[in-house]
């Protein structure tokens, strides 16, 4: 298959790229954001029309944690709507057979019943700190659904839970909770086991999935015929942020104190995915959290000298 992976240098895109590159069966096409700005509609149309892929995997997005979402609502809304709209529309116009859209579990209402089922979409208000990003992603889900409904397109949305793994963003200004913890515990350990301050109360519960498991789910969708337009992607298991902190502390070898800064927001109290829909299609995760964090910490140690700061820009 001729496959265009949008966002192949990102954490998720690079895991998909690594996984698909193992097979000789696929011709993989990539473009960096400098070569092809996916917010540029005519450039995207020209590119897709020229390369004529059979499959597009959309792992390109403006991504960040609570602080970045809160500070840059315009970039999180506009960039994500533009990127996915241009790609999905170009796929449809050019008869691309399969489209796999990667979104996020933040599309579900803040107080939706746990574990989160796909049919809880649009049943209540969103978590305000990331509603800009969530609204963009909901639009992408609905675009794939509309094309499936009206034109019978095999366009599928995968909504992963919190992801982590090699290639993650460890810049404390824009990173997610798990890589931020790895960075903080590592830095504190290096500076003589100084105390580590973490946001919130530590009581919210979260679920985490290794990016190599995302790649395996993408492969599953690529090779199968999916009954639904929208699937949750996760492990179906969660733990408290406090338990996570203790796990990361153990893996990094930090021996100092953990201080919880309750003046900072906690976000959604619990976020656990109901993963039975994708389970019924025959897919399940394979990397347990402790093993996955160790693997990620090894990658961090090998790459810590080369990290770039990840800034949100216009
Ligand atoms: N990280 C998570 O915890 C998580 C959780 C759930 C879902 N997801 C979803 O997974 C997907 C990928 O996330 P990620 O963590 O891999 O993000 P990431 O590491 O920040 O990578 C995002 C990629 O998007 C590309 N990109 C951004 N703006 C672009 C533009 N204007 N034009 C072209 N390319 C652009 C970047 O390309 P360049 O490198 O070439 O600049 C980058 O490679 C997103 O849809 C996200 O919602 C992520």
Please check whether residue 311 lies inside any domain of the structure.
no
**In this predicted model, what pLDDT tens digit does every residue of 202-246 receive, in sequence order?**
999 999 999 999 999 999 999 999 999 999 999 999 999 999 999
Does ligand 1 come within 6 angstroms of the Cβ of 218?
A: no
Print the domain residue range for 292.
2-306
Ligand 1: centre distance to CA 101 (Å): 12
Mean pLDDT calculated for residue range 51-70: 91
- Domain assignment of residue 314, yes or no: no
Q: Is the CB of 12 inside a 6 Å radius of any atom of ligand 1?
A: yes
The answer to whether residue 313 is domain-embedded is no
Whether 9 lines ligand 1, by a CB cut-off of 6 Å, is yes
- Residue count (the chain): 314
Token code pair at residue 26: 């696929």
Question: What number does the ligand 1 atom closest to the CA of 176 have?
Answer: 3
Cα–Cα distance, 148 to 31 (Å, whole number): 27
Q: Please check whether residue 312 lies inside any domain of the structure.
A: no
Write down the pLDDT at residue 129: 85
Asked if residue 234 has its Cβ within 6 Å of ligand 1, the reply is no
CA–CA gap between residue 92 and residue 99 (Å, rounded): 9
Q: What percentage of the chain reaches a pLDDT higher than 70?
A: 98
Q: Please give the number of the atom of ligand 1 that sits closest to the Cα of 105.
A: 6
Is the alpha carbon torsion for 241, 243, 246, 247 positive or negative? negative
Strand residues in the chain grouped as ranges (E): 2-6, 27-29, 55-58, 98-102, 154-160, 162-164, 196-199, 205-206, 208-210, 230-233, 239-240, 258-261, 270-271
Kindly tell me the sign of the dihedral angle through the C-alpha atoms of 290, 294, 300, 301.
Answer: positive
Q: Please tell me if the CB atom of residue 233 comes closer than 6 angstroms to any atom of ligand 1.
A: no
Within-domain flag for 196 = yes
Mode of pairing for the β-strands spanning 55-58 and 27-29: unpaired
Torsion 90-155-217-238 (CA) sign: positive
The CATH number given to whatever domain includes residue 297 is 3.40.50.720
- pLDDT interval class at 311 (50, 70, 90): low
Confidence of residue 274 (pLDDT cuts 50, 70, 90): very high
Q: What is the pLDDT of residue 314?
A: 55
For ligand 1, whether the C-beta of 62 sits within 6 Å is yes
Identify whether 74 is part of a domain.
Answer: yes
Nearest residue (by CA) to ligand 1, atom 19, is 10
Question: How remote is the CA of residue 129 from the centroid of ligand 1, in Å?
Answer: 19
pLDDT of residue 289: 98
State the total domains in the chain.
Answer: 1
Q: Is residue 116 part of a domain?
A: yes
Q: Is residue 138 part of a domain?
A: yes
User: What's the CA-to-centroid distance between 269 and ligand 1, angstroms?
Assistant: 25
The predicted pLDDT at position 173 comes to 79
SS3 233: strand
């Amino acid at each position: 298959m001729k496959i265009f992976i949008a966002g192949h240098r990102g954490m998720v895109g690079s895991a998909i790229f690594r996984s698909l590159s193992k097979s000789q069966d696929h011709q993989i096409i990539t473009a960096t954001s400098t070569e092809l700005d996916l917010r540029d509609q005519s450039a995207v149309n020209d590119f897709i029309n020229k390369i004529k892929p059979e499959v597009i995997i959309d792992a390109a997005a403006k991504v960040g944690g609570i602080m970045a979402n809160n500070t840059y609502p315009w970039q999180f809304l506009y960039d994500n709507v533009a990127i996915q709209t241009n790609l999905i529309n170009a796929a449809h116009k050019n008869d691309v057979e399969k489209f796999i859209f990667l979104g996020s579990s933040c599309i579900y209402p803040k107080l939706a019943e746990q574990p989160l089922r796909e049919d809880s979409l649009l049943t209540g208000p969103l978590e305000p700190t990331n509603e800009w990003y969530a609204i963009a992603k909901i639009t992408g889900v609905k675009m794939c659904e509309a094309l499936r409904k009206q034109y019978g397109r095999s366009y599928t949305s995968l909504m992963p839970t919190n992801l982590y793994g090699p290639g993650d963003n460890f810049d404390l200004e824009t990173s997610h909770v798990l890589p931020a913890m790895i960075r903080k515990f590592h830095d504190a350990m290096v500076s003589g086991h100084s105390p580590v301050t973490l946001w919130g109360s530590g009581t919210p519960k979260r679920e985490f999935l290794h990016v190599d498991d995302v790649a395996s789910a993408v492969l599953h969708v690529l090779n199968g015929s999916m009954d639904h337009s929208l699937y949750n992607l996760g492990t179906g298991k969660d733990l408290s942020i406090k338990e996570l902190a203790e796990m990361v502390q153990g893996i990094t070898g930090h021996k100092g104190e953990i201080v919880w800064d309750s003046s900072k927001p906690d976000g959604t109290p619990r976020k656990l995915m109901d993963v039975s829909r994708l389970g019924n299609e025959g897919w399940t995760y394979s990397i347990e959290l402790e093993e996955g964090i160790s693997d990620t910490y090894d990658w961090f140690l090998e790459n810590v000298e080369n990290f770039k700061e990840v800034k949100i820009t216009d």
